[in-house]
Structure 1
Amino acid sequence: MADDSDDKTEDPTQKRLDDAHARGDVAKSQEVNTWFVIAGGTLVLSTFSGSMGGGILTPLRNVIANAGQIHADGAALLSLANLLGTAVLGAVGVPFLMLMIAAVAGNMIQHRLVWSAESLSPKFSKVSPGAGFKRIFGKQAAANFVKGIFKLIALGAVMMAVLWPERLRLESFLRFDPDVILNVTTNLTLQVLGAVVAMLAAVAIADYFFQYRQWYERQKMSLQEVKDEYKQSEGDPHIKGRIRQLRMQKAKKRMMAAVPKASVIITNPTHYSIALSYDRGMAAPICVAKGVDNIAFKIREVAKAHDIPIVENVPLARALYATVEIDDEIPVEHYHAVAEIIGYVMGLKRGFSGRR
C-alpha cells in the first residue's frame, strides 16, 4: 500500500492533538523515564543508604545472636517472619515510595495523565511484516541504535574517568576492613551514579525532542482531512451559506412587508432608501426598512404603490443608513433633521385632507 505521508503537509489542529491524546498516542521518551528512575535511585542511595542498612542489619543481627533461643515451631517462625518483614518494609518503604514517585514523574512531566485502553486492543499492524520491517529499519530504530552506541561509549568513558584514578586503592581493598571497603565503594558508586545521571540528562533531553518531533509529524494532516474536520466541527460551508441566504431572504420579505407602515421614505435617489415610521406619542421615529441599490429601488416602488411620501436628502440618507438598524430608533444627532421632514410630511397630509 502506498505511503500517503507526503500528503500530510498541514499542521495538526487542536482537535487532532486532543483525539491523539484520548487514544493514548502521546509524545513520550523512555530515556526521560530512565533518567528519573536513576536520578531517584541515586538520591535514595545517597540519602537513605545508612538508614536502610541499619534498619535491615539490626534485626538480622538479633536473629543470629539469639539463634539458640528461637523456637522452631510454626507459630514462632511465623511471628519471626512477620517481625523481619516489618523491619525490612520499614527500612525500604520510604525509599521505594520515592522510586515510584520518580517513575510516575517521568511520565507526568512529558504529558498530562492518559486513561486509554486502545493501546491494549489487538491491531493487525502489530503483526504485519511491512510494519515490522519499518520498525526495524525506520527512523525510530536508527535513533535507538545511535542512542545505544552513544550510551555505551559515554557510560564507559564515565566509569573510566571516575574509577581509573582509584585503581591503585582498589587493588589494596583486600587488606582493608570490610567497613572501610563498604564506605569507599559507596562513595565511588555515588560518584559513578552522579556522572551517569548528568550524562543521561543530555541523552533524555535530546531524545525527548526527537520523540516529540516524530509524534508531531505523525499527527500532521492532509488538506482534505483539515477540510473534513472543519465540516464536522463547523458544518458544511455550502449548507451554512444556503441557510444564511434563506435567512436574508426572509428578513428582506419581513422588511418589505413593513414598508407600507412607514411615515416617510428618505432617499439618495440613486443608492439609499430609509423608511421611517412615526406616530404621535413615540419618543423618536423608528427605522422599519433600509437598503441600497436594488433594495432601495424596491422600497421606493412599494412606497409609491401605497402613497408614502418620498423625500430626497442625500447626506441624511447616507447618515441614517450607516448609523441606524432596522427596528431601532434614530440616533439623537439626527432628531432635528428628521423632525423637519416629519413635520413637512404631516403638513402635506393636513393640506391634502383640507382640500378634500
Structure 2
Amino acid sequence: MQFGIFTVGDLTRDPTTGKTLSEHERIKATVEIAKKADEVGLDVFATGEHHNPPFVPSSPTTLLAYIAAQTERLLLSTSTTLITTNDPVKIAEDFSVLQHLTDGRMDIMLGRGNTGPVYPWFGKDLRAAIPLTVENYALLRAVWDEEIVNWEGKYRTPLQGFTLAPRPLDGIPPFVWHASIRSPEITELAAYYGDGFFANHIFWPASHTQQMVARYRERFAHYRHGTPEQAIVGLGGHVFMRPNSQDAVNEFRPYFDEAPVYGHGPSLEEFTADTPLTVGSPQQVIERTLSFRDYVGDYQRQLFLVDHAGLPLKTVLEQLDLLGEEVVPVLRKEFAIGRPADVPDAPTHASLVAKAREEQRTDDTPESTDQEESA
C-alpha cells in the first residue's frame, strides 16, 4: 500500500502571525515539503492544479520535474490535472516528457476541478463538464495508445495523422487515477477503463465515500477487469498532529477557522465528527485511518493533506516527521494484516511494464495442437 501527501497549493495568511507568504516563497516551500516526504520514507507526493488566486500550482509538470531532480524514490503525481480545461494532446505531451525525465517515477490523477470560473478562461463551458471529461479522456487514451491518431469529437478540432512525441516510456502510458468528490459519472469512467478511482474523502461523511467506492468496485467488475475487491482505490485525508491531542486541537483551531475550504462554517469539533478530518495525536490518526478500510475495503493509496490554511513550513515539516516516524510504519504493518493475496498493489511503471511483457510472452507462446497433446 502506498502512503503519501497531496497539496492544493493554497496561498493563505497565517492567522496566528498575520503573515502571508509570497508566491515565490510558497512554491519554494512546496519543493521543501516534497523533499521532506522523500526523506521520511513516504511513497507519493501529489500537487493540485489551479489557475486562480489564492493558489500557485498552475503548472504541475514543471513543479514535479523540478522535484524529481531533487528526490530519489518519491513517486510524483497530481491532485488533480484538469481533464476538462486542458487540451488532452498537451496533457499527453507534458506527462510523457515527465515520465521520461523521472524514469517512470510518476502517475497522473485526472479530475474536473472545483473552480467554475476557470472554464471560460480556457474557452470551455462549465455546463459541459461531464461530457468534456469523457470525450477528452477518450482522446488522451488514443494519443497515448495509438501510434497514429485520426480522431474527431464535439469539443475539439479533429486530429489527422497525429503522433505523440515523445511516445510513452517503454510504450507504457502513465497509470491514471480519476478523482471525484461527488460525481458518479467519474466512478463509471474509471471503471470502464480499468483505471484507479481516488475519493478525496475530506469534505463528505464516510457514508458518501463508501457509496462512491462501492459503485466503482461494482462497475469495475462489470467491465471484467477483475473482482470488486481488485479494483484500484485511493483515498485522501486531512490530518494535523501533536504528541498531545489537545495541543493539536488548540494549535490547529485558528487555521481551521480561517481556512479557505473550512472556515466560517461548522466548528472544528463538528467537522472532525462528521468527516475524516483528524486533529489529534499520531495514535488517533492511525486509528482513524485504519477505520477507512471498514467501509471501503482494502485499498491501494492513502494521501494526506498537511500543508493547508497557512501553516508555517516548519510546522508542515514537523507533521511529515510524525507521519514518517510514528504513523506510516504502523499503518503499513496494520493494513497488511488480513489483506487478501489477490488484492493488487497500486500500479507503478515497473509493474505495468512487467505485466505488458508477461502478456506479450503469453501471446507469443504457440498453443499446443491436439496431435502434440495426444502424443
Q: For this structure pair, what is the TM-score category when the shorter chain's length is used for normalisation?
A: under 0.3
TM-score normalised to the size of structure 2? 0.17
Higher helix share: 1
* Structure exhibiting the larger radius of gyration computed from Cα positions: 1
Higher strand share: 2
